């Protein structure tokens, strides 16, 4: 399906085209949104993050770029992290933290936790556009299955976080409906993941709020607020989309079988090769 097993993953975040699509979708009527028997927007389906293109996975990813088939050169490319436009909001890191992120970037992300096949965390797993995500909605919980790293989340509705949380890679998620928007509160993280792109570290004070708003049959607006007072100067807000990919099935992903990055960087270091960015 034109998907690749990537270690240093590319991420597509807010793009000008997505903003234009959002404005257009403001005119969408409630009748265009599929609903469950209890009247809530039905988020069930297989989705792709960071795209505005309707259609099947093959149709939407026929262009160039990482994960694209290259069959249609005029189709939009799937952008890697280094190709994101400057219009995308930068993380508001404190000066010392920004320097740490820069060092990781200069070292080409060799300390990427995902390169060790560790869970990517939230929201990184959710904004990765190279692999599909499946959402299963029930009246009492939302289940999200990620092809990448074979991760999953079970999100109880109208529940509270447990008092005895142990820090984890994916955190603890609880959800609630605010009108037609599913709001997911995520906390209880460890410090071992990146938020989105290269070097975007955080501490165990991380708090993520996700908002899923299905605006029509094909699109969910996905808005993320990231808070970590230990490293950020203010909340970091990210906007992207999830596009429906009918007919797509999640495939098996075994990171360790395809992960060449650790051995590559270890060999480079042993040979004294400087692979740092200028």
Between the alpha carbon of residue 108 and those of residues 62, 71, 200, 258, the distances in Å are 28, 30, 13, 19
Asked if 243 and 47 touch (Cβ cutoff 8 Å), the reply is yes
Question: Quick one: three-class SS letters along the chain?
Answer: CCCCCCCCCCCCCCCHHHHHHHHHHCCCCHHHCCECCCCCECCCEEEEECCCCCCCHHHHCCCCECCCCCCCCCCCCECCHHHCCCCCCCCCECHHHHHHHHHHHHCCCCCCHHHHCCCCCCCHHHHCCCCCEEEEECCCEEEEEECHHHCEEEEEECCCCCCCCCCECCCEEEEEEECCEEEEEEECECCCCCCCCCCCCCCCCCEEEEEEEECCCCEEEEEEEEECCCCECCCEEEEEEEEECCCCCCCCCCHHHHCCHHHHHHHHHHCCCCCCCC
**pLDDT score, position 48:** 97
- CATH number assigned to the domain covering 16-270: 2.40.128.20
**pLDDT score, position 90:** 82
**What is the side-by-side order of every strand in the sheet holding 152-156?**
152-156, 141-146, 133-137, 45-49, 236-244, 219-227, 207-214, 181-187, 172-178
Q: What is the mean pLDDT of residues 21-41?
A: 73
**pLDDT score, position 144:** 98
The pLDDT tens digits for 202-243 are 999 999 999 999 999 999 999 999 999 999 999 999 999 999
Q: What is the mean pLDDT of residues 156-178?
A: 97
Residue 47: pLDDT over 70: yes
Residue 11: pLDDT over 80: no
Residue 135: pLDDT over 60: yes
Q: Which of 93-107, 113-127, 140-154, 253-267 has the lowest mean pLDDT?
A: 253-267
**pLDDT score, position 82:** 39
Q: Which of 41-45, 109-113, 164-168, 254-258 has the lowest mean pLDDT?
A: 254-258
Band (62; pLDDT cuts 50, 70, 90): confident
Nearest to 112 by CA among 224, 256, 228, 262: 262
Q: What are phi and psi of 72, to 5 degrees?
A: -130, 90
Cα first-last separation, the chain: 36
The pLDDT tens digits for 114-132 are 988 999 999 999 999 999 9
The pLDDT tens digits for 64-80 are 655 566 666 666 555 54
């Amino acid at each position: 399906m034109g998907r690749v097993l990537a270690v240093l993953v590319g991420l597509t975040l807010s793009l000008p085209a997505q903003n234009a699509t959002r404005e257009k979708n403001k005119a969408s009527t409630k009748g265009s949104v599929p609903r469950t028997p209890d009247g809530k927007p039905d988020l069930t389906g297989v989705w792709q993050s960071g795209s505005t293109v309707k259609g099947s996975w093959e149709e939407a990813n026929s262009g160039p770029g990482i994960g694209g088939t290259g069959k249609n050169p005029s189709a939009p490319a799937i952008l890697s992290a280094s190709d994101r436009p400057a219009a995308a909001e930068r993380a508001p890191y404190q000066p010392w933290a920004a320097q740490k992120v820069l060092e990781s970037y200069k070292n080409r992300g060799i300390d990427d936790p995902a390169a060790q096949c560790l869970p990517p965390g939230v929201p990184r797993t959710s904004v990765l556009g190279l692999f599909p995500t499946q959402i299963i909605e029930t009246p009492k919980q939302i289940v999200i299955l990620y092809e990448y790293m074979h991760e999953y989340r079970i999100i109880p509705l109208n529940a509270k976080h447990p008092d005895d949380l142990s820090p984890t890679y994916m955190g603890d998620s609880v959800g609630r409906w605010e009108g037609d928007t599913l709001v997911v509160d995520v906390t209880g993280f460890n410090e071992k993941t990146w938020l989105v792109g290269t070097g975007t570290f955080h501490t165990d004070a991380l708090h993520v709020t996700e908002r899923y708003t299905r605006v029509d049959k094909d699109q969910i607006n996905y808005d993320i607020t990231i808070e970590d007072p230990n490293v950020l100067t203010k909340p970091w807000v990210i906007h992207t989309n999830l596009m429906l990919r009918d007919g797509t099935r999640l495939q098996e992903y075994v990171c360790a079988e395809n992960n060449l990055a650790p051995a590559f960087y270890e060999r480079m270091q042993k040979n004294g090769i400087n692979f740092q960015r200028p």
